[in-house]
Amino acid sequence: MGHVRDRMNADLVLAGRAESTRRNYIDCAKRFVKWVGRSPEQAGESEVRAFLLHLIQVRKIAVGTYLPYLAALKFLFGVTLRRPEVTSGIPWPRGVRRRPDVMTRDEVRRVIEAARSPRWRAFFATAYAAGLRRMEVAALRVEHIDSKAGLIRVVGGKGGKSREVMLDPTLLAALRRHWRAEGLPGPWLFPARGARGCGWQDHPVGLDQASAAFAEAVVRARIGRRVTLHGLRHAFATHLLEDGVDLHTLQVLLGHENIETTTMYLRVRTDRIRATRSPLRQLWP
């Protein structure tokens, strides 16, 4: 689907989709084409429905994994191929928002300390200290760190949006140590390594590499449950709520367009639950 892929990528760029979203959508579309065995220009609603049912009933993928496939195919047929009737009758699944599994403060500290190198410690500390997604940490450049204003400028976040978050003095000191120790040439704070680990490339470190390094740190820290690199962002949000930060400020820091997305963190904070007195003690005063 070479020419279709190029057109789809161009349409995604025009739609302002982030690079990671473009890669994901195109990969989903390629999997559909491989499954159906012919060009998407020759496929119709029956093939799309059969593929999506295969994902749900045979592969039994989770809703969160299924949604990008559906979104990608709706974009492919609705925008790129200009055949919206192919997918317009396929419903979105009933919203199931998974409750994030939030790391405790002690777990965050242990994972950061267990990172296999100072570079990854700085990467993980940045994700937690500023509530950044892994792609936002990887995309940080020197000019995004405004030490005088005490701000980190997050450029090109999810959906291509930019925002500002606080720059903690402890994080600033850690980033400066990281910069000096690695002898970075700039402009990237977390560039990819060159061939055979020599030198630095003029592009950010790979996101899969960052996730693998985090998974290794989780094992080294002996965290007995499944947590991901994105969990540092969940911990950032939940811990700030527990410290008294209001919901609207948190929405701005996280870059959420809708306040409802931010309110999910109200369901995972446990400080108020622990502080609530059970009626049991009133039975035997």
Q: Which of 153, 220, 230, 269 is catalytic?
A: 230
Q: Which of 31, 141, 153, 158 is catalytic?
A: 158
- What does the alpha-carbon distance between residue 220 and residue 136 come to, in Å, rounded to a whole number? 25
- What does the alpha-carbon distance between residue 73 and residue 48 come to, in Å, rounded to a whole number? 8
Six token digits for residue 184: 């970075």
Q: Which of 17, 134, 144, 233 is catalytic?
A: 233
Six token digits for residue 177: 């140590």
* Catalytic (active site) residue 60: no
* Catalytic (active site) residue 3: no
* Catalytic (active site) residue 225: no
- What does the alpha-carbon distance between residue 253 and residue 136 come to, in Å, rounded to a whole number? 13
* Catalytic (active site) residue 144: no
* Catalytic (active site) residue 239: no
Q: Which of 25, 69, 128, 265 is catalytic?
A: 265
Judge whether 78 and 87 are in contact, CB under 8 Å.
yes
Judge whether 16 and 159 are in contact, CB under 8 Å.
yes
* Catalytic (active site) residue 178: no
Q: Which of 119, 121, 133, 134 is catalytic?
A: 133
Which residues are catalytic, by number?
133, 158, 230, 233, 256, 265
